[in-house]
Amino acid sequence: MSAGSEKTLYLFRVSPVIEEWIRRRKGLYRVCRWLPAEDTEGKSSFVKDCLFLVPFEEVGSFGKVHLSVPFITFGKVEYISRAFKAGALDHLSFPFNAKEFDSRLVYAFKELEKVQKEPPSHSPVWLDRCFLIGPAGKVYLNPFEVMIMTHFLHNPSRILVRGHVYKELSDESHRQSRIVDVYISRLRKKIALVCLFQGQVTIRAVRGTGYQLEYQEPRAEEKF
């Protein structure tokens, strides 16, 4: 990693014993415990150059607070598919293998470095791998959110039919739920974050059909 771009591994509700083991690894990143006082929705959205390590059992709690930062889970091997569905970048088996832990963390941080720095001129928001990027910064999207946003950006005038999205879901139980509506709601929040809450881009509901990406000009008082 280049000098002057120190990376941070945040530990979300990790036990003191595991935290001590990680701190002894002396990796190419600094280790910080994410304090409960900081667990307020939206406050972690633009933590720069960071990665969260989350016990799989805490993924639900993590998802309610941290909408837009990349994370890795750890736990039993059989949790891996559920971890990826929850949006994790990776899942580490526990107890940790020291060599595997170090290599996977280094790889994850290198992937984060590949995010583009300058926005293209044709759109206020765009995708780079698993990140949605806009005027205010970048937010992490899980794989299902990436799929939805890819459709919107590649087909800006087309409606995303709700039924077509359900066909992409491998979990039969999800097809009977309102999971698509949940993801759309999360995407609206993330778009608002990267657009400085100015409403240039939003997702509008098309009654009885699905959703469509909508571009709006900033109001006159917002222009400079």
The model's pTM = 0.54
CATH topology match: 8-112 vs 126-222: no
Confidence at residue 68, expressed as pLDDT on a 0 to 100 scale: 57
Neighbours of 73 (CB within 10 A): 27
pLDDT in tens, 137-155: 888 888 778 888 887 887 7
DSSP 31: E
Confidence at residue 43, expressed as pLDDT on a 0 to 100 scale: 44
Distance separating alpha carbons of residues 59 and 143, to the nearest angstrom = 16
Confidence at residue 119, expressed as pLDDT on a 0 to 100 scale: 43
Confidence at residue 12, expressed as pLDDT on a 0 to 100 scale: 92
Domains of the chain, by residue range, sit at: 8-112, 126-222
CATH topology of domain 8-112: Rossmann fold (3.40.50)
Which regions in the chain score pLDDT beneath 50? 1-4, 40-46, 115-121, 170, 173, 221-224
Nearest Cα residue to 72 out of 61, 86, 64: 86
165: left (phi over 0), alpha (psi -120 to 50) or beta: alpha
Distance separating alpha carbons of residues 147 and 143, to the nearest angstrom = 6
**50 bridge partner residues:** 8
DSSP 199: -
Cite the DSSP H helix spans in 11-137: 16-23, 59-65, 80-85, 98-112
Look at residue 167 and give its three-state secondary structure: helix
Nearest Cα residue to 187 out of 142, 157, 217, 136: 142
Confidence at residue 65, expressed as pLDDT on a 0 to 100 scale: 65
Please state which architecture CATH assigns to domain 126-222.
Answer: Orthogonal Bundle (1.10)
Residue with tokens 């993330």: 190
Neighbours of 212 (CB within 10 A): 17
Distance separating alpha carbons of residues 105 and 9, to the nearest angstrom = 9
Confidence at residue 3, expressed as pLDDT on a 0 to 100 scale: 41
